């Protein structure tokens, strides 16, 4: 790499032109790309090169010579140490713009999709679809490009997380609990986290105090010794219910009755105290066995008017305020009038399925995790919904079987994990050819890849709405409406 225009250890002036998917500033030095943590677009910086690859490198920020007007002082006192947030030094309005740009960049670079200019976006309402209307866009103008709306943000982008997963350790003989320093497994002890619900902070602090008083030892991952690995807290925003889960490296918690009594006395809002056992030498938080030490097996919360039972290991969106915004946009894009058949692939515990079932004729949810399907069925019963049907298995296998049984979806909704949709599922969707596909994504890159496949298979991307589920972090969710191209008589796309 002797021919590179920069050298390790040397300082250079770098113009910052963007933000990477990890939240680093994207700098340019003599045409060469350097990723600079802490730098912001529009800034002129002095950086020191630390690592080099053939086509890019990493540099430390030495000095900001020209400061971006979007730079602010982070609210969090341990922001520079903790790796939980990446964008607190960027104003919230600028965060929303940067996240939309992340979606646009991926659609163009990976999806090879043309994105509409600002003029066309301004002509299209972000609420163009009501519950009784068809998609409000002109298919003849699809060549103008995909509409990517401004990111839907929060009025108050703080204290939004309903779940904390806090690793525990020891420092100078004392029990500590916090979050990992960026890029390491070193725990930063903390008293509060500004993106967590206040109840989460209170629970962690009290559990830390009680554990220290009872002489509980923290787990040491290098020695594979010690007991307390994590404390997981879940809180119902609407109900106020609180669940505490003690994750331990062992079947037995010493002085467990005293610990339970201490938690109940210090935290009267707690409805459930559970014990999860994880004896594996792994960084996976939960083990396979969970026991209820006291109280209920579940707590409850709502998304809109739909009530959900939340167990220790069940997945529930961590930002309930924005989840209602996200699902509301998915419902809007589905354009349900009351008689449609909807398939929800990757349905999890039924959150989107039940939200859609309020407006659909029939909803069919499929999920590969059997425990999640059991929870989905319980949640349907909890809400008295009889027009939803759940089945466990791979969506690409279950959907064709439903088709053989006469199920013909008008709308297919997908909300896949970060890796995106399984190629076999995309091929199945293209074979079924529903009128609309609503894609809910937590990864702009795999979203762009999958949209390309669906477009090649005869669908038009009508609109994309980014939703900020995780303020002050680099993560962005998106909801996409795709509409079947009626001019395509036969599926031309083959995987």
In DSSP terms, which residues pair with 35 in a beta bridge?
26, 58
Q: Which residues of 437-461 are buried (b: 16+ CB within 10 A; e: fewer)?
A: bbbbbbbbbbbbbbbbbbbebbbbb
Q: What's the rounded Cα separation, in Å, for the pair 241 and 346?
A: 27
Q: How wide is the angle at C-alpha 295 spanned by C-alphas 201 and 200, nearest 5°?
A: 10
What is the token pair recorded at 469?
């589920």
Phi then psi dihedrals of residue 261, to 5 deg: -65, -40
> Is 76 part of the annotated catalytic residue set?
no
Sheet with strand 163-171: strands edge to edge: 187-189, 174-180, 163-171, 228-235, 242-248, 270-277, 289-295
Phi then psi dihedrals of residue 484, to 5 deg: -65, 135
Contacts of 48 (CB under 8 A, 6+ apart): 9, 10, 11, 59, 60, 62
Q: What's the rounded Cα separation, in Å, for the pair 324 and 360?
A: 17
The rounded Cα 264 to chain-centroid distance in angstroms is: 31
The burial of 366, by beta-carbon neighbours within 10 Å (0-12 exposed, 13-18 middle, 19 or more buried), is given as: buried
Helix, strand, coil % in the chain, rounded to nearest 5: 25, 30, 45
DSSP string covering 41-80: TT-EEEEEEEEE-SSEEEEEEEEEEE--TTB---S-TTTT
Helix 423-432 with 395-404: angle, nearest 10 deg? 20
Q: What's the rounded Cα separation, in Å, for the pair 186 and 31?
A: 36
CA distances (Å), origin 66, targets 16, 33, 69, 146, 199: 10, 19, 9, 35, 40
Residues designated catalytic? 442
């Amino acid at each position: 790499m002797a021919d590179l225009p920069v050298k390790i250890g040397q300082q250079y002036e770098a113009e910052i032109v963007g933000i990477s998917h990890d939240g680093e500033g994207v700098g340019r030095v003599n045409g060469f790309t350097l990723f600079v943590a802490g730098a912001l677009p529009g800034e002129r910086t002095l950086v020191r090169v630390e690592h080099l690859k053939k086509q890019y490198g990493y540099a430390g920020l030495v000095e900001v010579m020209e400061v971006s007007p979007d730079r602010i002082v982070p609210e969090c006192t341990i922001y520079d140490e903790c790796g939980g947030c990446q964008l607190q030094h960027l104003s919230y309005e600028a965060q929303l713009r940067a996240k939309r740009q992340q979606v646009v960049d991926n659609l163009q670079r990976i999806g090879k999709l043309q994105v509409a200019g600002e003029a066309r976006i301004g002509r299209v309402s972000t609420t163009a679809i009501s519950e009784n209307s068809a998609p409000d866009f002109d298919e003849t103008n699809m060549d103008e490009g995909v509409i990517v709306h401004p990111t839907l943000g929060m009025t108050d982008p703080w204290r939004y997380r309903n779940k904390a997963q806090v690793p525990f350790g020891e420092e100078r003989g004392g029990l500590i609990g916090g979050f990992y320093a960026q890029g390491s497994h070193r725990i930063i002890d903390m008293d509060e986290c500004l993106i967590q619900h206040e109840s989460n902070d209170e629970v962690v602090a009290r559990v830390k105090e009680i554990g220290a008083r009872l002489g509980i030892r923290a787990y040491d991952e290098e020695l594979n010794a010690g007991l307390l690995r994590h404390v997981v807290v879940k809180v119902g925003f609407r109900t106020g219910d609180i669940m505490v889960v003690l994750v331990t490296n062992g079947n037995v918690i010493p002085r467990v009755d005293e610990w339970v009594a201490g938690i109940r006395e210090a935290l009267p809002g707690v409805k459930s105290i559970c014990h999860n056992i994880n004896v594996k030498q792994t960084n996976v938080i939960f083990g396979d066995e969970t026991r209820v030490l006291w109280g209920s097996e579940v707590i409850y919360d709502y998304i809109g008017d739909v009530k959900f039972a939340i167990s220790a290991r069940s997945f529930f969106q961590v930002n309930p305020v924005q989840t209602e915004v996200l699902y509301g946009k998915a419902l809007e894009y589905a354009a349900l009038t009351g008689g449609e058949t909807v398939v929800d692939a990757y349905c999890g515990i039924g959150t989107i399925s039940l939200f859609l079932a309020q407006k659909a004729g029939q909803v069919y949810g499929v999920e590969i995790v059997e425990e999640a399907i059991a929870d989905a069925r319980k949640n349907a019963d909890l809400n008295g919904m009889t027009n939803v049907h759940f089945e466990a298995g791979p969506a690409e296998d279950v959907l064709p079987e439903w088709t053989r049984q006469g199920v013909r979806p008008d709308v297919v909704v997908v909300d896949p994990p970060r890796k995106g949709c399984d190629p076999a599922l995309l091929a199945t969707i293209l074979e079924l050819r529903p009128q609309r596909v609503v894609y809910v994504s937590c990864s702009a890159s795999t979203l762009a890849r999958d949209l390309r496949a669906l477009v090649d298979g005869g669908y038009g991307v009508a609109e994309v709405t980014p939703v900020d589920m995780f303020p002050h972090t680099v993560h962005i969710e998106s909801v996409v409406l795709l509409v079947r191209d009626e001019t395509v008589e036969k599926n031309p796309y083959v995987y």
